Amino acid sequence: MMKSIIAENGVTFKELEKNIYSWICQIGRQFTSEFLERYDRMLMEGRDRKKYRHKGLRQTTVKTVYGEV
């Protein structure tokens, strides 16, 4: 039954698996990026301003198991 469903759509199981993995990795990268940006903002706003100065925002890349963020 599964083979007939996959065959009707013209997609192999391996292609389906790769597409799902790619989609989930993209969601993971997005979530991680948003989380890190919010956490960075929280740290910046909550710092001891007398002790730590703000040197500006810099863009950086973090390598994760699901791609670069």
pLDDT digits 0-9 by tens, 3-48: 666 666 777 888 989 999 999 999 999 999 999 999 999 999 999 9
CA distance 69 to 65: 10
Residue 23 sits at φ, ψ, to 5 deg, of: -65, -45
pLDDT digits 0-9 by tens, 45-64: 999 999 988 888 889 999 99
Q: State residue 42's pLDDT score.
A: 95
Residue 10 sits at φ, ψ, to 5 deg, of: 75, 20
Q: State residue 12's pLDDT score.
A: 85
Question: Is the pTM higher than 0.75?
Answer: no
Domain segments of the chain: what residues?
A: 2-68
In terms of Cα–Cα distance, which of 23, 33, 34, 27 is closest to 61?
Answer: 33
CB under 8 Å to 25, separation ≥6 — which residues?
Answer: 66, 67
